[in-house]
């Protein structure tokens, strides 16, 4: 069975774009542990091409610095959804040409970054679980997790204070309310 988990850093106004510009001042050991746990729960990463390109350029050079986390990022199975890549060079990476291919994948798939992919997955109702680290900042512009016109019925299943004013929130797909 396939389960797609979207994990994002988001601002109070729902922006997910460029978290490196606003999330670092809040980083702490609890956030690191949260990210570690979800990476080790996943059987594979599911990435859009832009996020894949960034990860593939960075993570192979961070194994020593990031230890077990870096090792896992480099060895875990990775699926990159792309119509422009013929093959993916990063270790254990496979190109999936479209969302029909994603629907055929098995296992717990973790999606990070990848705004366009996430919005396409949401439209096809393929996201099972949202794990959001909500940061106490409003940036006022940028790509949002839920694009204008997006509708989703979600059940809140967990809320956790993870320090620095950041809240971990977990939602699962719900049946439409009558």
- CA-to-CA distance for 17 and 158, rounded, in angstroms? 24
Q: In this structure, what DSSP letter does residue 101 have?
A: H
Total domains in the chain come to: 1
Write out pLDDT tens, residues 40-82: 999 999 999 999 999 999 999 988 889 999 999 999 999 999 9
* Helix (H) / strand (E) containing 57: helix 49-58
Asked whether residue 144 is domain-assigned, the answer is: yes
pLDDT at 152: 86
- CA-to-CA distance for 178 and 133, rounded, in angstroms? 29
Beta strand pairing call for 167-173 and 129-135? antiparallel
Write out pLDDT tens, residues 9-45: 999 999 999 998 999 999 999 999 999 999 999 999 9
Kindly state the tokens that stand for 19.
Answer: 């978290």
Write out pLDDT tens, residues 133-177: 999 999 999 999 998 888 888 999 999 999 999 999 999 998 766
Asked whether residue 14 is domain-assigned, the answer is: yes
Kindly state the tokens that stand for 1.
Answer: 């069975």
Write out pLDDT tens, residues 86-129: 899 999 999 999 999 999 999 999 999 999 999 999 999 999 99
Q: In this structure, what DSSP letter does residue 31 have?
A: H
pLDDT at 157: 97
pLDDT at 128: 96
pLDDT at 178: 63
Asked whether residue 8 is domain-assigned, the answer is: yes
Asked whether residue 178 is domain-assigned, the answer is: no
pTM of structure: 0.94
Query: Which residue segment(s) compose the domain that 169 sits in?
Result: 2-173
Provide the CATH number for the domain around residue 87. Answer: 3.40.430.10
In a 13 Å sphere around the CA of 135, the CA atoms on its Cβ side amount to: 23
Asked whether residue 119 is domain-assigned, the answer is: yes
Rg of the Cα trace of the chain?
16
- CA-to-CA distance for 45 and 20, rounded, in angstroms? 20
pLDDT at 163: 95
Query: Which three-class secondary structure state does DSSP give residue 19?
Result: helix
pLDDT at 65: 87
Asked whether residue 27 is domain-assigned, the answer is: yes
């Amino acid at each position: 069975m396939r389960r797609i988990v979207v994990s994002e850093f988001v601002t109070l106004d729902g922006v997910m774009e460029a978290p490196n510009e606003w999330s670092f001042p809040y980083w702490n050991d609890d956030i690191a542990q949260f990210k570690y746990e979800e990476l080790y729960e996943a059987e594979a990463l599911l990435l859009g091409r832009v996020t894949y390109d960034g990860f593939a350029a960075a993570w192979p050079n961070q194994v020593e610095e990031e230890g077990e986390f870096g090792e896992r990022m480099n060895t875990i199975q990775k699926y990159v959804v792309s119509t422009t890549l013929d093959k993916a060079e990063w270790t254990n990476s496979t190109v999936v040409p479209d969302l029909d291919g994603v629907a055929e994948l098995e296992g717990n798939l973790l999606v990070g970054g990848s705004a366009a992919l996430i919005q396409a997955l949401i439209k096809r109702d393929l996201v099972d679980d949202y794990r959001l680290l909500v940061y106490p900042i409003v940036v006022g512009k940028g790509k949002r997790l839920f694009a204008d016109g997006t509708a989703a019925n979600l059940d809140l299943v967990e809320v956790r204070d993870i320090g620095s004013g950041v809240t971990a929130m977990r939602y699962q797909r719900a049946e439409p309310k009558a």
